[in-house]
Amino acid sequence: MAECTRLVIGVGNPFRRDDGIGPAVIQRLTADPDLRGIDLLDGGTDGFALLDDVNAYAHVLIIDAVDMGLPPGEIRVFSPAEAKLTIRTDALSTHGFGLAEVLSLLDTLEIDTDLQILGIQAKDISFGEGMSHEVAAQIEEIIGVVKQICFKPKNSREDTPTAASHPQECGQQENL
């Protein structure tokens, strides 16, 4: 297990417009001094490569653009059990090994990690750079949600602790 117990992973493809929200948020979080004590990972598009990372931490938050049938830019946090993800055999994921496949494999392998997904409703995942206004406008809100999740003990109503209460050796950004 990693010395730091919390990992935030941003997954997505910045060349598929809104699908790049995960890596964009990680890039912004890297410069945030409040997040010392939280490891950050730009997970890119290869979900399979994330399995070891997820297994190495007690608490993992995955940030990804998803299709929940909501208005573009809507944010939802859910557990893998609450996710209604389907493994599609008739279409390719925008990731090499998609989130649905990763969650299915984690369940099959019985990996015991407190895993949450922060999903942002995408508007446009066509090829191209730059996110839609609706999704890009949510970056600050997403950062606030990440901080709430990372600094609030699970099932606790206590106020968010400061970053000073987290180990200083954590907080390194990794790239795949």
Q: Is 133 helix (H, G, I), strand (E, B) or coil?
A: helix
Residue count of the chain, please give it: 176
Instruction: Report if residue 175 sits inside a domain.
Output: no
111 domain-assigned: yes
Residue 94: its pLDDT value, please? 47
User: Model-level pTM?
Assistant: 0.75
153 part of a folded domain: yes
Of all residues in the chain, what percent are helix, strand and coil, respectively (each to 5)? 30, 20, 45
Query: Is the C-alpha dihedral spanning 87, 21, 41, 61 positive or negative?
Result: negative
Strands 59-66, 6-11: pairing is parallel
pLDDT tens, residue by residue, 66-79 = 888 999 999 999 88
Helices 139-151 and 21-30: crossing angle in degrees, nearest 10, is 70
pLDDT at 88 over 90: no
Residue 65 domain-assigned (yes or no): yes
> What is the reported pLDDT for 36?
78
What's the one-letter identity of residue 95?
A: H
| Residue 134 falls in which region: left (phi positive, over 0), alpha (psi -120 to 50) or beta | alpha
Query: What range defines the domain where residue 11 resides?
Result: 6-169
The number of folded domains in the chain is 1
**Helices (H) and strands (E) in the chain — how many of each?**
5, 6
pLDDT tier, 44 (very low <50, low <70, confident <90, very high otherwise): confident
Residue-wise pLDDT for 129-162, tens only, equals 999 999 999 999 999 999 999 877 555 444 332 2
Distance CA 131, CA 146 (A): 20
Pick the most confident of 88-97, 130-139, 164-173: 130-139
The domain that holds 113 is classified in CATH as 3.40.50.1450
Query: What is the average pLDDT across 29-38?
Result: 85
